[in-house]
Structure 1
């Protein structure tokens, strides 16, 4: 069942997450990595919480179906851009090429979905397991990158940091190709 009122607890949590994005961006920009890490972790917690509340208390809404993924994409895009661009003082910046791959994948999928909305089935753009793994790896990498930046350089990070960003890139490419193959294999409705 979908709730008709937009004023649900999950939607309010999602709005809080959106409102936190400028503060997160400011923290990253000025090198306040502990604050950025805490804001990012809190945003992740509210994302889990709003989804749980929506399911358990049957507070799903059309607005929430749009707002929740938009909030997630805004936060992740902000993190990717700032952690790849504002790298002074970072011990675990996101490589620019990884940020570009992640952002372009989301843009291409979004534009394709928008342009094809009238001829694709409703299940075409639901997240696949590979898409969920890609998102999870991106969340882990951004969280770890923020934490590592807050901790400062530690020798044990040296092999770990490049590996996590290569994993992000591999999953972004694989899930992007998978979405494209699913979309082109889906018969028109």
Structure 2
């Protein structure tokens, strides 16, 4: 697929930033496994900021793409699941939180992805808030473990709030996908990429 500017759909700066998010995931998890130190906190912040940067660049440069619409949420879900799993293994996050995140992601993937890729549902405000709160709470949890261990319990409350939002957002996507028409109308485009 080629854009109106003659470049392949995937060849955009925002997609490069999203790919950097994939590349940063393994080093982030390794550093978290070794202990939530300053380097782990900084690299996690860089990883998290790529989600905001790729969307900002996509809009500012007019480089939204079908590829970005597909790989951006994959990078979010895969990254958060891997980081949450690592935090469970180092006893910063309870297993129940990881299980809930994974079950909601699996259900949403199975029941709503087709509608999203078909342009029948778009990213919701609730979904954006959910992702922001989840990423922020995970970052604050790692920062607290590294710099203020006494605050870990308080930050875990925020993490559970984010998990609750994750459940609500997943349910919202599934409900909207079930109500969406099977065939997109002629004027509808692909889902919002960022």
RMSD: 2.4
Correspondence 1:25-174 to 2 at 5 A: 25-87=29-91, 93-114=92-113, 117=114, 122-124=119-121, 126-154=122-150, 157=151, 160-174=154-168
Q: Out of 180, 189, 194, which is 1:186 matched to?
A: 180
Shift of 1:127: 2.1
Aligned counterparts of 1:158 and 1:146: Cα–Cα separation in 2: 8
Shift in alpha-carbon separation, 1:81–1:52, aligned structure 2, 3 A? same
| 2:169 is equivalent to residue 175 of structure 1 | yes
Q: Does the 8 Å CA contact 2:120/2:181 hold for their aligned counterparts?
A: no
1:133-177 deviations in Å (ceiling 9; x for gaps) = 2211111110111101111422xx265224212212321222222
Aligned counterparts of 2:153 and 2:124: Cα–Cα separation in 1: 30
Question: Structure 2 length normalisation: TM-score?
Answer: 0.81
Q: What number of residue pairs does the alignment pair up?
A: 179
Q: Does the 8 Å CA contact 2:130/2:166 hold for their aligned counterparts?
A: yes
Aligned counterparts of 1:113 and 1:178: Cα–Cα separation in 2: 10
The farther-off stretch of 144-153 and 161-170 is: 161-170
SS in 1 for 2:108: helix
SS in 2 for 1:69: helix
Shift in alpha-carbon separation, 1:79–1:86, aligned structure 2, 3 A? same
**What residue ranges of structure 1 are gaps of 5+ in the alignment?**
88-92
**What residue ranges of structure 2 are gaps of 5+ in the alignment?**
184-194
Shift in alpha-carbon separation, 1:110–1:2, aligned structure 2, 3 A? farther
Aligned counterparts of 1:76 and 1:153: Cα–Cα separation in 2: 22
Question: Structure 1 length normalisation: TM-score?
Answer: 0.83
